[in-house]
């Protein structure tokens, strides 16, 4: 008997001005399997999925569902075929509740009236069944990125989709949640649902996927059974060369204190309490300090307080011997603090500006980018932007004049990192700098952080990724419910111990 | 890299084509409406509207009518710049009419009651418009009140304020404010000799070059300066602007103040010529600010495009007065010009259609 394929994408080619995003790509998803799609940023994964989801039309190639050719013209067609997708950038309505977002477009109605009770029961049932805990009445803009993602997954489950596409779903989940999600995905597959799992986390792919298709620079490289392959083989298929997973670094040469935070508190925007509660710590020149913790334990607000985006409700911040508790964001930036923000779309970029304008976002007011102090010096801006693009391998359709919105997430992130590091900061606050970035680029970013540290700069890294937390920093501070519950030496601790602190099970101050 | 630059993909070309398309469709619909009312006179009437000043038989009269169109174009251009400036910073300045009315109050009161010279009246009207704009801006920045809501409310507040304040400088037996020429000659805008070009049209003067210079300044500020970079960044992403250390709330207020100042300037550019008086029984917000919205969009949201679109809209409006009133009711002129102005709002829609068409063509030709 011939193989049963739920979805087949055969010889798909899709071009954009200046780029062939998909070049003759074939992807066959068996019924009931978990199929990983692996590739670097800009390899064409997102484009391929957009073709499957009807957001783009392929110029060549066909799509088959259950062996029959189908035309998918828009997401509605995809929906009717039972294809659901959790996007990398969530498609949620910020001012709606979780429940309203889940039922959006498929609202249960009776005589024109919404039947929310019915919907709520179904959502609760799904939420309990798969352990996707959400508050159905919470407003999206008030909840954490992790919970927003769970809402997206529930949205797909609510629609009883048969073919489930997960676009890097684990990027923001905690280790425990990832394990949970892996279980869910396996359950779903066992129930006969077919799952396409887009990721560049090799360990996850090895654990959960049956087969893996690899793309590189828009081209099809191959499909392998995960049982017959290794992480090393997958990564060299993806990147085209061997990649080191370990961050090589010398012993830290710790210097003077650069950042000193004393009894800092930041009020929570959503709940009537302190998001950051009486936190004190130092970061010294020549070291990388990592704030670890599960998403939503006050890391975001801590960084808002440090960068000046939110005022402190108590405490002081001292930078290089000066009290900067109430100085403006601009002054802090000029004093040598760089900030790679957590949310690159909300803070890091003006998405509708061309790339070159985003490259100067932190220093557009400097004389080198101005003529007579008033007018933009376009040639100087172009030259600066071209240099950053060149040096940091930021890929885009049209270089400096590309509208930033049109770039892939990983390349947007590379642009931000290039901009912030080029400022040559004395203190770099890097919040999830490798979020949604591929392995090759992660390696580069980690090297950049270490290089800053070796140049005698202070680095404060905020990370949700256990591997990153264990590998990159010299010291780990674990945050739980707005407090620092432990300081750990990454050389002496284990992932298990770290997990206990992150989950609030241990809060005795750590092993240091 | 593959080059894919169709001439039609050029933004400027697209803006121009879609504006022209709007105008043509507007004229066709206007023509159809005329056909319904009275088929015999339709062609004549639509031609009269298009010809405007060219309707006159004598060239001296033609010049005079062209002059009148230009006098009315200057304030419209300034109002469209006001709308455009705010729009580029992500704000919808529907309050341009109110800011314009504030300018009228100050200009006329300053001229007729306080007997101030024209330059002072003009500066005061800019300040008055700027303050009204800044109120909307401050409400938006600090209380997140939509500038549309506060703008509309301020429009009405200023309308009645104008009726109340300006009744102290109106003709005793009439509802209109005093004649500028007789009562405040010191406040009449200088003609700079421009009047002689238009067959000694007494109202043609400095207002026209002022409006043109304002258009160029707005273009330079938005496109070429640090200030424009900051303001547009704030409009596109308030959080991003804050992250970059810009004073995002101040930028919103500043934007609305500049927009308001332009609308206030528009008022003195019309009323200080003496071509018209304020009726203290006015019951609706002046349309100048609203037409500014149409002119801004018809001009492809480009300050230089606004020059052409403002002239066109004024041309059509004035052309309405040449329609044969023995065949059509007197409202028909306003009706036709409003249809055309209304269609101007579809510029963005036509642009979208054009891009979709090009995408389809590219997708086919891509092989």
Domains and CATH numbers, chain A: 5-239 (3.40.50.300), 245-336+426-512 (3.40.50.300), 344-424 (no CATH)
Q: Which residue has the higher pLDDT, B205 or A247?
A: B205
Q: What are the chain A neighbours of B227 within 8 Å (beta carbons)?
A: 374
Closest CA to A193 of A202, A201, A203, A184: A184
Give the percent of chain B with pLDDT over 90.
48
| B331 close to B303: Cβ distance less than 8 angstroms | no
Taking 60 as the threshold, does the pLDDT of residue B367 lie above it? no
Cα–Cα distance between B232 and B230 in angstroms, integer? 6
Q: Which of A375, A381, A415 to mutate to test the interface with B (most CBs of B within 10 A)?
A: A375
| A459 close to A449: Cβ distance less than 8 angstroms | yes
Q: Which residue has the higher pLDDT, B198 or A137?
A: A137
pLDDT for res B336 = 73
Nearest to B226 among A331, A361, A370 (CB): A370
Nearest to A57 among B1, B226, B363 (CB): B363
Six token digits for residue A215: 């793309």
Taking 70 as the threshold, does the pLDDT of residue B118 lie above it? yes
Residue B214 CB coordination number (10 Å): 23
Q: Note whether B233 contacts A375, CB cutoff 8 Å.
A: no
Distance set, CA A282 to CA A82, A307, A486 (Å): 52, 15, 14
What would the 3-class secondary structure string for A416-475 be? HHHHHHHCCCCEEEEECCCCCCCHHHHHHHHHHHHHHHHCCCEEEEEECCHHHHHHCCCE
Q: What is the mean pLDDT of chain B?
A: 87
Which region among A235-249, B88-102, B277-291 has the lowest average model confidence (pLDDT)?
A: A235-249
Cα–Cα distance between A328 and B245 in angstroms, integer? 7
Cα–Cα distance between A479 and A471 in angstroms, integer? 18
Q: What is the Cβ-side half-sphere exposure of residue A276, based on CA atoms within 13 angstroms?
A: 28
pLDDT for res A354 = 95
Q: Which residue has the higher pLDDT, B167 or B1?
A: B167
Q: Give the model confidence (pLDDT) of A15-35 as tens digits.
A: 887 678 899 999 999 988 999
Q: How many degrees, rounded to 5, is the angle at CA B180 between CA B319 and CA B78?
A: 50
| A169 close to A153: Cβ distance less than 8 angstroms | yes
Cα–Cα distance between B155 and B296 in angstroms, integer? 19
Q: Give the residue carrying structure tokens 């054009």.
A: B354
Q: What are the chain B neighbours of A15 within 8 Å (beta carbons)?
A: 2, 366
Q: Note whether A328 contacts B245, CB cutoff 8 Å.
A: yes
Q: Does A280 touch chain B (CB under 8 A)?
A: no
Q: Which residue has the higher pLDDT, B340 or A34?
A: A34
| A177 close to A204: Cβ distance less than 8 angstroms | no
Element (H, E) at A231: helix A231-239
Provide the H-helix boundaries in A159-223: 175-190, 202-208
pLDDT for res B256 = 96
Confidence of residue B250 (pLDDT cuts 50, 70, 90): very high
Q: How many degrees, rounded to 5, is the angle at CA A479 between CA A98 and CA A453?
A: 115
pLDDT for res A436 = 72
Using DSSP's 3-state secondary structure scheme, residue A181 falls into helix
- Can you name the residues that pair with A213 across neighbouring β-strands? A37, A223
pLDDT for res B363 = 62
Cα–Cα distance between B367 and A60 in angstroms, integer? 9
Q: Note whether B226 contacts A364, CB cutoff 8 Å.
A: yes
pLDDT for res A183 = 82
Burial A60-90 (b: 16+ CB within 10 A, else e): ebebebeeeeeebeebeebbebbbbbbbbeb
Nearest to A353 among B233, B243, B246 (CB): B233
Which residue of chain A has the CA closest to B244?
A362
Dihedrals phi, psi of A219, to nearest 5 degrees: -110, 155
pLDDT for res A243 = 64
Cα–Cα distance between A228 and A226 in angstroms, integer? 5
pLDDT for res B182 = 86
User: In this predicted complex, what is the ipTM?
Assistant: 0.81
Burial A221-253 (b: 16+ CB within 10 A, else e): beebebeebeeeebbebbbeeebeeebebeebe
Mean pLDDT by 10 residues, chain A (512 residues): 79 83 91 89 82 88 90 87 82 90 86 86 85 84 78 86 84 71 83 85 88 90 91 82 72 90 88 85 95 87 94 94 94 95 92 95 94 93 95 88 88 93 95 82 89 94 87 93 91 83 76 62
Which region among A284-293, A488-497, B238-247, B326-335 has the lowest average model confidence (pLDDT)?
A: B326-335
* DSSP-derived secondary structure for B124-153: HHHHHHHHHHHHHHHHHHHH---HHHHHHH
Which residue of chain A has the CA closest to B240?
A347
Could you tell me whether strands A288-292 and A458-463 are parallel, antiparallel, or unpaired per DSSP bridges? parallel
Q: How many degrees, rounded to 5, is the angle at CA A98 between CA A96 and CA A99?
A: 100
Q: How far is B99 from chain A (nearest CA, A)?
A: 28
Q: Note whether A18 contacts B239, CB cutoff 8 Å.
A: no
pLDDT for res B134 = 97
pLDDT for res B3 = 40
Nearest to A346 among B227, B239, B362 (CB): B239
């Amino acid at each position: 008997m011939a193989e049963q394929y739920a979805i087949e994408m055969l010889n798909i080619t899709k071009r954009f001005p200046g780029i062939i995003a998909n070049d003759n790509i074939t992807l066959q998803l068996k019924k009931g399997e978990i199929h990983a799609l692996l590739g670097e940023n800009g390899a064409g994964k997102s484009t391929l999925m957009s073709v499957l989801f009807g957001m783009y039309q392929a110029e060549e190639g066909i799509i088959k569902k259950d062996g029959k050719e189908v035309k998918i013209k828009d997401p509605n067609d995809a929906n009717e075929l039972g294809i659901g997708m959790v996007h990398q950038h969530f498609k949620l309505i910020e001012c709606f509740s979780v429940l309203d977002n889940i039922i959006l477009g498929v609202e249960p109605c009776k005589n024109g009236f919404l039947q929310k009770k019915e919907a709520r029961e179904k959502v609760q049932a799904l939420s309990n069944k798969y352990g996707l805990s959400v508050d159905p009445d919470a407003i999206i803009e008030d909840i954490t990125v992790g919970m927003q993602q769970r809402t997206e997954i529930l949205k797909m489950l609510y629609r009883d989709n048969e073919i489930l596409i997960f676009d890097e779903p684990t990027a923001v989940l905690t280790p425990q949640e990832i394990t949970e999600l892996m279980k869910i995905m396996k359950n779903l597959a066992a129930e006969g649902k077919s799952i396409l799992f887009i990721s560049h986390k090799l360990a996850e792919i090895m654990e959960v996927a049956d087969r893996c298709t690899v793309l590189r620079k828009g081209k099809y490289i191959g499909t392998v059974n995960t049982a017959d392959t290794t992480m090393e083989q997958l990564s060299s298929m993806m990147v085209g060369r061997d990649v080191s997973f370990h961050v090589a670094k010398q012993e830290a040469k710790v210097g003077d204190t650069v950042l000193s935070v004393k009894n800092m508190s930041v009020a929570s925007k959503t709940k009537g309490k302190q998001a950051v509660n009486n936190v004190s710590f130092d970061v010294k020149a020549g070291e990388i300090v990592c704030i670890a913790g599960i998403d939503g334990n006050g890391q975001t607000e801590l960084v808002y307080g440090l960068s000046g985006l939110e005022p402190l409700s108590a405490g002081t911040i001292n930078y290089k011997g000066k009290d900067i508790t109430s100085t403006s964001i601009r002054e802090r930036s000029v004093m040598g603090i760089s900030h790679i923000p957590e949310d690159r779309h909300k803070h890091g970029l003006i998405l509708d500006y061309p790339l070159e304008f985003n490259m100067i976002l932190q220093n557009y007011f400097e004389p080198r980018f101005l003529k007579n102090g008033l007018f933009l010096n376009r040639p100087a801006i172009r030259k600066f932007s071209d240099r950053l693009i060149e040096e940091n391998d930021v890929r885009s359709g049209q270089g400096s004049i590309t509208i930033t919105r049109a770039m892939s997430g990983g390349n947007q992130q590379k642009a931000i990192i290039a901009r912030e590091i080029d400022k040559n900061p004395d203190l770099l606050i890097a919040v999830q700098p490798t979020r949604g970035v591929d392995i090759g680029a992660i390696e580069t970013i980690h090297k950049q952080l270490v290089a800053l540290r070796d140049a005698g700069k202070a680095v404060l890294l905020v990370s949700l990724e256990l591997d990153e937390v264990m590998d990159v920093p010299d010291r780990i501070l674990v945050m739980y419910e707005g407090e620092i519950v432990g300081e750990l030496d990454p050389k002496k601790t284990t992932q298990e111990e770290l997990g206990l602190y992150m989950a609030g099970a241990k809060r005795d101050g750590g092993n240091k | 890299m593959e080059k894919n630059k169709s001439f039609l993909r050029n933004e400027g070309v697209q803006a121009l084509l879609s504006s022209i398309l709007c105008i043509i469709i507007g004229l066709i619909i206007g023509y159809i409406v005329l056909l319904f009312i009275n088929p015999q006179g339709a062609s004549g009437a639509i031609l009269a509207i298009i010809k405007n000043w060219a309707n006159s038989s004598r060239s001296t009269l033609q010049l005079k009518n062209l002059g009148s169109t230009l006098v009315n174009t200057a304030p419209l251009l300034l109002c469209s710049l006001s709308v455009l400036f705010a729009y580029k910073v992500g704000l919808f300045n529907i309050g341009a009419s109110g800011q314009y009315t504030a300018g009228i109050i100050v200009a006329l009161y300053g001229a007729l009651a306080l007997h101030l010279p024209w330059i002072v009246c003009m500066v005061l009207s800019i300040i008055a418009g700027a303050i009204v704009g800044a109120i909307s801006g401050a409400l938006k920045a600090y209380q997140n009140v939509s500038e549309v809501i506060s703008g509309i409310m301020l429009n009405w507040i200023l309308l009645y304020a104008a009726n109340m304040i300006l009744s102290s400088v109106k003709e005793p037996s009439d509802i209109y404010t005093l004649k500028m020429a007789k009562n405040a000659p010191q406040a009449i805008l200088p003609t700079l000799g421009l009047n002689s070009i238009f067959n000694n049209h007494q109202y043609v003067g400095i207002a026209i070059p002022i409006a043109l210079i304002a258009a160029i300044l707005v273009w330079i500020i938005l496109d070429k300066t640090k200030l424009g970079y900051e303001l547009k960044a704030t409009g596109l992403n308030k959080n991003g602007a804050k992250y970059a250390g810009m004073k995002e709330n101040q930028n919103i207020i500043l934007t609305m103040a500049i927009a308001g100042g332009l609308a206030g300037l528009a008022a003195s550019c019309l009323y200080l010529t003496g071509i018209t008086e304020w009726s203290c029984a006015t019951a609706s917000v002046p349309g100048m600010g609203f037409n500014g919205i149409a002119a801004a969009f018809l001009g492809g949201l480009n300050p230089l495009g606004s020059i052409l679109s403002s002239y066109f809209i004024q041309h059509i409006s004035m052309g309405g007065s040449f329609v044969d009133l023995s065949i059509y009711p007197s409202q028909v002129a306003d009706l036709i010009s409003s249809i055309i102005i209304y269609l101007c709002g579809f510029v963005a829609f036509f642009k979208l259609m054009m891009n979709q068409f090009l995408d389809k063509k590219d997708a086919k030709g891509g092989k």
